């Protein structure tokens, strides 16, 4: 009635050596651990997908509400009459934004600044003109030297 260590009547583990039994048990534990790990990983991925979907739906709802709110505000603004504009809410003029034209916000050039800019422009043109002349003289000098070098080479080749 105790344990049966025979091949025919007992379990397969009874026939194995203790080392083999430990290896089989260790492998089975590792296999189960990996299965649990994969299950947890899959569950985490599913949960993350659900959360992303909920966030996407919430964003979509929020955008739709915002769009409706903006459309209502635009419609309301377009339908305001002059009497509505002077309602007690809008009576305080200091609360209204002050509209300043773009032209008046621009810096106004004084005659002194204008004279300076004209003078700087003239100086820049003169400087550019001098640089162009200097560059032209340099090019002419290079061409003249090349021409002289060719003439000298021709004279040498005639002598030979």
Measured CA to CA, the distance from residue 82 to residue 94 in angstroms comes to: 18
- pLDDT of 106 over the 60 cut: yes
**What pLDDT is stored for residue 146 in this prediction?**
96
Q: Is the pLDDT reported for residue 32 higher than 80? A: yes
**What integer is the mean pLDDT of 3-30?**
77
pLDDT for residue 82? 45
Give dist(CA 133, CA 141) in Å, integer: 12
Per-residue pLDDT at 8 exceeds 70: no
Q: How confident is the model at residue 126 (pLDDT cuts 50, 70, 90)?
A: very high
pLDDT value for 109? 83
Going by C-beta distance under 8 Å and a sequence separation of 6 or more, which residues neighbour residue 5? 14, 15
pTM of the complete model: 0.35
CB 16 within 8 A of CB 24: yes
Mean pLDDT within 145-152: 96
* Residue 104 pLDDT exceeds 50: yes
d(CA 50, CA 61): 17
What is the pLDDT confidence band of residue 75, given thresholds at 50, 70 and 90? confident
């Amino acid at each position: 009635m105790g344990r049966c260590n025979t091949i025919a009547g007992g379990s397969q583990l009874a026939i194995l050596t203790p080392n083999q039994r430990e290896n089989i048990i260790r492998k089975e534990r590792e296999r189960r651990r990996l299965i649990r790990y994969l299950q947890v990983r899959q569950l985490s991925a599913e949960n993350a997908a659900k959360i992303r979907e909920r966030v996407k739906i919430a964003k979509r709802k929020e955008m739709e509400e915002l769009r409706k709110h903006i459309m209502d505000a635009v419609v309301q603004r377009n339908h305001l009459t002059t009497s509505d504009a002077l309602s007690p809410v809008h009576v305080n003029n200091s609360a209204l934004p002050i509209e300043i034209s773009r032209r008046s916000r621009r810096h106004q050039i004084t005659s002194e600044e204008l004279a300076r800019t004209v003078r700087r422009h003239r100086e820049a043109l003169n400087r550019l003109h001098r640089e162009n002349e200097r560059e032209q003289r340099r090019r002419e000098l290079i061409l003249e030297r090349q021409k002289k070098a060719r003439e000298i080479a021709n004279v040498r080749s005639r002598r030979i």
